[in-house]
């Protein structure tokens, strides 16, 4: 089968491409614009891991630029598509909302139009736990309140879900959105908590812990995320009696306090962290926790990697990639 993956040089995109391309019956085409939101060297290093795979090809292109993705899509004619390209980071969206409009709204529409012109069997797209506002009940369930996201990033992801539903209803596109919860692991983004915390501990620099580190996060290991993406991709929603559209949470369902997360990193690294305890930020929710009942019933999904194991893998990769002395 032929699978097109946007955001292929990103954290989740790289891992999804690697898993798919390892299957000899799967031809994978990755698309990414390699922008400089964070170090392009990390994105190129991920792609270098994919280069030896015979079933993987890469095109550098901005999917938000009018007509670019449509042309690639029409030529490749994917059987399946995974749309992971987006502008991420809750806090960055407070100061740079225009980047989210271009990538997450304009770019998402370009993806929908490309799929409408040449419909694949199924398109899976990345949503986020950020669509849940502070009023949502714990654990977050897919039919819970998402009408008041606290960040502009979350608002754009909520808009993606509404846009996808309309295209499923109007054009019969088979679409599934996945609300990712606090993904971590090897090759992670440098702007996420695990990498920021690890770097600060290694360098002896202070760590800013908002909400005094008492916020709880549903940290989910990257291998569990990829398992969910690939399984969902191969099981499209049914068309009748409703539009072929659905939403699933993809998390771990075992939230921990951020301060405990830091303590676990301290033990693995062998150094104490310098903590700067700060008040909550307005764009942050107090807790994230994914209800997995719906996705478990649909495809039998259940996370397998405990936080202790996943963090150990992450620290090993961090030491190796950033060449941190033992």
User: What residues are annotated to the active site?
Assistant: 153
Q: Is 123 helix (H, G, I), strand (E, B) or coil?
A: strand
Helix (H) or strand (E) holding 47: helix 40-50
Helix (H) or strand (E) holding 200: helix 193-203
Residue 184 falls in which region: left (phi positive, over 0), alpha (psi -120 to 50) or beta: beta
Closest residue by Cα to residue 35 from 88, 73, 91, 105:
88
Q: Which residue has the tokens 């986020």?
A: 128
Residue 16 forms beta bridges with which residues? none
Euclidean distance between the first and the last CA atom of the chain, given in angstroms as a whole number: 43
Tokens found for residue 119 = 């419909």
Contacts of 270 (CB under 8 A, 6+ apart): none
Tally of helices (H runs) and strands (E runs) in the chain: 12, 13
Spatial separation of the C-alpha atoms in residues 49 and 56, rounded to whole Å? 11
Closest residue by Cα to residue 224 from 250, 201, 247, 196:
250
Q: What is the DSSP string of 61-72?
A: --TTSTTHHHHH
Q: Which residue has the tokens 């049914």?
A: 238
Helix (H) or strand (E) holding 110: helix 107-117
Contacts of 320 (CB under 8 A, 6+ apart): none
């Amino acid at each position: 089968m032929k699978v097109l993956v946007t955001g292929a040089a990103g954290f989740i995109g790289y891992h999804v491409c690697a898993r798919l391309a390892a299957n000899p019956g799967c031809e994978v085409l990755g698309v990414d614009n390699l922008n400089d939101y964070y170090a392009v060297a990390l994105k190129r290093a991920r792609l270098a891991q994919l280069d030896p795979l015979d079933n993987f090809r890469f095109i550098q292109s901005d999917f938000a630029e009018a007509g670019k993705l449509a042309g690639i899509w029409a030529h490749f004619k994917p059987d399946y598509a995974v749309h992971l390209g987006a502008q991420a980071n809750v806090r960055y969206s407070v100061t740079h909302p225009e980047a989210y409009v271009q990538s997450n709204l304009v770019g998402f529409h370009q993806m929908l139009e490309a799929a409408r012109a040449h419909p694949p069997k199924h398109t899976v797209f990345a949503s986020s736990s950020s669509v849940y506002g502070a009023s949502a009940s714990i654990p977050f369930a897919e039919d819970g309140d998402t009408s008041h996201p606290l960040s502009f990033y979350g608002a754009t992801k909520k808009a993606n879900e509404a846009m996808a539903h309309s295209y499923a209803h109007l054009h019969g596109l088979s679409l599934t959105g996945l609300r990712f919860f606090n993904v971590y692991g090897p090759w992670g983004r440098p702007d996420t908590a695990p990498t920021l915390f690890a770097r600060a501990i290694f360098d002896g620099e202070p760590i800013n812990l908002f909400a005094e580190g008492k916020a709880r996060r549903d940290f989910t290991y990257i291998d569990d995320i990829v398992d969910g993406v690939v399984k969902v991709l191969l099981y499209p929603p049914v068309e009748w009696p409703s539009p072929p559209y659905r939403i699933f949470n993809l998390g771990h369902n075992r939230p921990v306090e951020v301060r405990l997360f830091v303590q676990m990193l301290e033990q693995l690294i062998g150094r104490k962290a310098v903590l700067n305890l700060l008040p909550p930020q307005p764009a942050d929710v107090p807790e994230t926790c994914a209800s997995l009942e719906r996705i478990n019933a649909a495809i039998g999904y259940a996370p397998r990697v405990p936080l202790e194991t996943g963090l150990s893998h992450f620290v090993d990769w961090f030491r190796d990639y950033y060449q941190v002395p033992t």
